[in-house]
């Protein structure tokens, strides 16, 4: 196996194991990735040796360790992303009394990386972090897709399929026609919504964070909470606050060159005048 293919297959294994905290037997990894068991065993041996995976002594299942997550958290801490954005998230959470989350654009995906909880008691929505966003069934995904032309947005969703995890509700977007209609509505009002689509019993409103120079989406900010509190009227009422927070974060964003490098943006030109 060539080095490049080996690396790609290792990443495929890690991606698969990331959604299986209980682990998987080598036969199932082989089946899902359509790779021979012997090849999978060699790749898993490397991951185990590097501390990125471990084999359970009794079940013989392989699972990820937290080492990769720890590396990611080290990067976030060093980049200063959360340091810059957290105060804005905290203020929005305090004003709305709901969960506020920040997602970053990473290639062709959105990844939630920071949050602030505004609900101090009663019903609270507080999902896991680090997951990739389901683009067509979440307010943040719709907000990001709406910043693209239709062809690119459709291609991104089609590459993953119009499917949602088992834990999700009933998405409005189920095919290309409904996706285009939803994106047109999202562009018109300036924010995306999810009404019991991402998680049953929850609603959300999300806005894209646009780089001031390139006008390219670099992330999203969203507010999510129980349907009992986030009614359509309340979503419309807090949407301007979400938009303002997205603009606030966008203004802060270029202040760290490491963030520009991470997102592939051209460095800012500073005038000496």
**Ranges of each domain in the chain:** 3-65, 77-263
Least confident of 50-54, 98-102, 167-171, 260-264: 260-264
C-alpha span between 139 and 101 (Å, rounded): 11
Contact 124, 93 (CB under 8 A): no
Q: What are phi and psi of 266, to 5 degrees?
A: -70, 135
Asked if the domains at 3-65 and 77-263 fall in one CATH topology, the answer is no
d(CA 178, CA 132): 22
Confidence band of 65 (pLDDT split at 50, 70, 90): confident
Query: What pLDDT shows up at residue 89?
Result: 94
| pLDDT tier, 187 (very low <50, low <70, confident <90, very high otherwise) | very high
| 78: confidence class by pLDDT, cuts 50, 70, 90 | low
C-alpha–C-alpha distance, residues 65 and 95, integer Å: 37
Does the domain formed by 77-263 have CATH 3.30.450.40? Answer: yes
Protein fold of 3-65: Arc Repressor Mutant, subunit A (1.10.10)
The CA distances from residue 147 to 175, 211, 220, in Å, are 19, 12, 11
> Is pLDDT above 90 for 70?
no
> Per-residue pLDDT averaged across 161-184, rounded?
90
Rounded distance between C-alpha atoms, residue 206 and residue 132, angstroms: 15
The contacts of residue 157 (CB under 8 Å, 6+ apart) are: 135, 136, 145, 173, 179
User: Which one has a higher pLDDT value, 175 or 109?
Assistant: 175
pLDDT in tens, 22-53: 899 999 999 999 999 999 999 999 999 988 88
Residue 162's contacts (CB-CB under 8 Å, 6 or more residues apart) are 136, 171, 173, 174, 175, 179
pLDDT of residue 72: 66
Q: What is the DSSP string of the chain?
A: --HHHHHHHHHHHHHHHHT-TT-B-HHHHHHHHT--HHHHHHHHHHHHHTTSEEE-TTT--EEE-SHHHHHHHHHHHHHTHHHHHHHHHHHHHHHHTSEEEEEEEETTEEEEEEEEE---SSS---PPSSPBP-GGGSHHHHHHHTTS-HHHHHHHHHHH-S---TT----S--SHHHHHHHHHHHHHHTSEEEESSSSTTEEEEEEEEE-TTT--EEEEEEEEEETTTS-HHHHHHHHHHHHHHHHHHHHHGGG-HHHHHHHTPPPPPPP--
| Out of 93-97, 135-139, 211-215, least confident range | 211-215
Q: What is the mean pLDDT of residues 135-162?
A: 94
Q: What percent of the chain has pLDDT over 70?
A: 82
pTM of the entire predicted model: 0.69
pLDDT at 244 over 90: yes
pLDDT in tens, 107-145: 888 888 889 998 876 665 666 555 678 999 999 999 999
Does position 73 have pLDDT exceeding 80, yes or no? no
Average pLDDT over residues 189-216: 91
What is residue 150's predicted lDDT score, i.e. its pLDDT? 96
The pLDDT-based confidence of 85 (bands split at 50, 70, 90) is confident
What's residue 267's pLDDT? 41
- Short-list 98, 95, 101, 102, CA closest to 122: 98
Contacts with 265 (C-beta within 8 Å, 6 or more apart), sequence order: 211, 213, 214, 216, 218, 254
Which residue would you say has higher pLDDT here, 124 or 189? 189
Q: Give the phi and the psi of residue 209 in degrees, each rounded to 5.
A: -100, 115
State the pLDDT at residue 152: 96
Looking at every residue in the chain, the average pLDDT score rounds to 84
């Amino acid at each position: 196996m060539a080095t490049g293919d080996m690396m790609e297959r290792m990443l495929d294994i890690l991606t698969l194991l990331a959604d299986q905290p209980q682990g998987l037997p080598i036969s199932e990894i082989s089946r899902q990735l359509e790779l021979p068991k012997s090849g999978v065993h060699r790749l898993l041996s490397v991951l185990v040796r590097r501390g990125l995976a471990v084999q359970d002594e009794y079940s013989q299942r392989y699972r990820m360790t937290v080492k990769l997550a720890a590396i990611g958290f080290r990067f976030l801490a060093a980049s200063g992303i959360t340091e810059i954005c957290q105060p804005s998230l905290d203020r929005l959470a305090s004003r709305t009394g709901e969960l506020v989350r920040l997602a970053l654009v990473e290639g062709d995906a959105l990844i939630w990386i920071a949050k602030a909880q505004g609900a101090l008691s009663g019903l609270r929505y507080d999902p896991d972090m680090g997951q990739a966003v389901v683009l067509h069934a979440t307010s943040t995904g719709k907000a990001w897709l709406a910043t693209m032309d239709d062809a690119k947005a459709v291609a991104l969703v089609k590459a993953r399929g119009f499917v949602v995890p088992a834990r999700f509700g009933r998405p409005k977007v189920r095919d290309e026609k409904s996706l285009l209609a939803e994106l047109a509505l999202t562009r018109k009002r300036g924010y995306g919504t999810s009404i019991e689509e991402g998680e049953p019993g929850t609603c959300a409103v999300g806005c894209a964070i646009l780089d001031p120079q390139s006008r390219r989406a670099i992330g999203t900010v969203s507010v999510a909470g129980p349907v009992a509190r986030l009614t359509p009227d309340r979503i419309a009422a807090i949407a301007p606050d979400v938009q303002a927070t997205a603009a606030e974060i966008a203004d802060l964003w270029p202040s760290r060159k490491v963030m520009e490098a991470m997102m592939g943006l051209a460095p800012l030109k500073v005038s000496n005048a």
